[in-house]
Chains A and B, each alone.
Chain A
Amino acid sequence: MELRRGTKIMFGVASVIVLMFIYIPLMVVALNSINGDASLTWPIRSVTLEWWVRAFHSQGALQAVSTSLEVAAAATVCALVLGTLCALALQRYEFFGKSAISLLVVLPIALPGIVTGIALNNAFTTMVGIRLSMFTLVVAHVTFCIVTVYNNAFARLGQLGEHAEEASSDLGAGVWDTFRLVTFPRIKSALFAGGLLAFALSFDEIVVTTFTAGQDITTLPIWIMNNMFRPHQAPIVAVVAVVMVLVSLIPLWISQRISAEDED
């Protein structure tokens, strides 16, 4: 489609404004992390690296990061398995109740976190009668992580069609070999993207976490919540956020690379 130069410039300018809207608050966070003055007065008057040094020595912050990594990794692995199985079944077969199942998968992120949180808390503590722990936390996180894997895998399977799988079974491969050698290599970039989203979702989750984690478990969002309003901890929280953003560029870049390889 040919667009006039004026139209292109208009859209370009609008995009830059939206990007500024997205990045200015993040810049504020970055500046808060080097602000010599612990209050949030603007413009900042002095610059210090003290918060960065203290953040890397903060036991609480480091411990919380590692707890969150564990929870997110466990939840992502489970979500990858369950989401892929579900996508295979729903993409390859027509059956009664199919739309109900696809709605069921979406429900945990469509309904407010607090509803999911209270429901699971109630189920764990009153119905099943188990204490809240790392286990209950991961179970809760998997529930709302499945959808990102499912959606990515489902869309990719739809694009691919099923001829390759049919050919594979014609050639004598079993169900598992067909998945391992034919289906998986062709959906792995979608699974990576879905898994990455699931990881991010779990890593940043606070509402469901407050209702399903044991008292002794401090994930990063919970640690942030506890320290955000404390004058000498707030800049350390800012440091952690900046580091998270920078580290996230690596998997995001890998994800883009893998999907670019698929297109070639």
Chain B
Amino acid sequence: MAGNQGLTVSSPRRGVVGVIHTLMARRAEQETELKATVEMKADGGETASFVPVRRHAISSFLYNHPMLHRVALLALPVGWMGLVYIVALVALLVTALWSVNEYTGQVEMAWTAANIVSAFTDALYLNVTARTLFIAVLVTVVDILLAFPIAFFMARMASKRSKKVLVIMILTPLWASYLVKAYAWRSVLSGSGLADWLLRPLGITSPGYGLAAVILTEVYLWLPYVVMPIFTAFEQVPESLLEASGDLGAKSWMTIRDILLPLIVPGVVAGSIFSFSLSMGDYIAVGIVGGKTQVLGNLIYTDVGVANNTPMAAALALIPILIIGLYLTLVSRTGALKRL
């Protein structure tokens, strides 16, 4: 965008600039006001040229009251998120403290901690939580290991042209429906599917539907979400830094280990947020390839969709909310949230 470069002022000091700006903004305001008045007189007091003055008045007012500018910018998005999302989420958590009448099946607004206590102590729920966590962690680790070489290759070795093609190749599968991809794995892993056909000569049979299939499918589904932030992180490391390391005598593997890897941690964490959160909540892919495997998502879905027990579902929903909340707080210090 060469055309806009001309507008960039070369790094001025803030304090001085601030004062100059205020002055200039006022001058500009006075000038337009003057001009508008003149024009108004010229064409007999019509209001046509009055509009810019009003607009600039608002602009300078906002300039002099940054607090109001902020409020004006944030009112819509924060209002939306707050009114729609936070209110809904809090209401759901309150529902966890209610109960369902055994006879009528209606939600009763009588306070009880029974649902929450059972969600956090019942052996079944603890078991399923452990399994879900295991899947999420394993899927995340495998995804990072797979994403690493290709992200590095794309960012640091591919030519400009092939980089573009590779980015498109990584992003394209996101447009093939999630359901269709899960179903593709179902057909690959079926008794007479591709996996079996490929593996039979080696004396191995397809793993079939179950925990292994769930992990494989989820690794597959979330891989692009993990590759992209790691790729971006690799790309943003300035070449000069790596050259400096080489000039100072570091071998290339030392440069990779000591300079490059620490710098891409935020990208890796950003990718892990995707794969971890998506695996913690998924129940549809689990239903397609998981056989009888039960995860938290299944249990919540059954409670709300089949058993019509929203309070229990809300109590169970607390588990992934807490785990993911904990994970986000742990990683927020790396600055990863800005790289999603």
Contact = CB atoms under 8 A, between A and B. Distances in A.
Interface of A: 1-4, 7-8, 10-12, 14-15, 18-19, 21-26, 28-29, 32, 40-43, 81-83, 85-86, 88-89, 93, 95, 99, 101-116, 118-120, 122-123, 127, 139-140, 142-143, 146-147, 150-151, 154-155, 161, 163-164, 166-177, 182, 185-186, 200, 203-204, 206-207, 220-221, 224-225, 228, 234, 237-238, 240-242, 244-245, 247-249, 252-253, 256, 260-262
Interface of B: 1, 4, 7-12, 17, 20-21, 24-25, 28, 31-32, 52, 55-56, 58-59, 62-63, 66, 69-70, 73-74, 76-78, 80-82, 84-89, 91-92, 95, 146-147, 149-150, 152-154, 156-157, 164, 166-181, 183-185, 187-188, 190, 192-194, 196-197, 220, 223-224, 239, 242-243, 245-246, 252, 255, 273, 277, 280-284, 296-297, 300-301, 304, 310, 313-314, 317, 320-321, 324, 328, 332, 337-340
A127 B86 CA distance: 13
21 contacts: A1-B246, A10-B149, A21-B146, A23-B169, A24-B188, A25-B181, A26-B176, A86-B78, A88-B73, A93-B66, A106-B328, A110-B277, A119-B317, A174-B52, A174-B55, A182-B7, A185-B1, A185-B4, A207-B281, A225-B179, A252-B175
A80 B253 CA distance: 42
Contact of B152 (A11, A150, A163, A169): A11
B332 A103 contact: yes
A167 B8 contact: yes
B12 to A, nearest CB: 8
A3 B88 contact: no
Contacts of A23: 169, 173
B282 to A, nearest CB: 8
Contacts of A3: 157, 252
Nearest to B195: A42
A43 B84 CA distance: 50
Contacts of B310: 118, 122
A103 B328 CA distance: 9
Of A40, A150, A220, most buried by chain B (CB within 10 Å of CB) is: A40
A191 B17 CA distance: 29
A248 B92 contact: no
Contacts, number: 319
A111 B277 contact: yes
Nearest to B164: A256
Given A42-B194, A85-B76, A114-B317, 7 more contacts: A40-B187, A41-B193, A85-B77, A89-B73, A104-B85, A111-B324, A164-B8
Contacts of A103: 328, 332, 337
B168 A170 contact: no
Contacts of A122: 88, 91-92, 95, 310
Contacts of B80: 82, 142-143, 146
B100 to A, nearest CB: 14
Nearest to B89: A119
Contact of A12 (B92, B153, B281, B324): B153
Given A1-B239, A15-B150, A106-B337, A241 B180 contact: yes
B74 A101 contact: yes
B1 A186 contact: yes
A124 to B, nearest CB: 8
Q: Nearest 5 A-B pairs (CB), nearest first? A: A112-B281, A248-B175, A14-B149, A123-B88, A174-B59
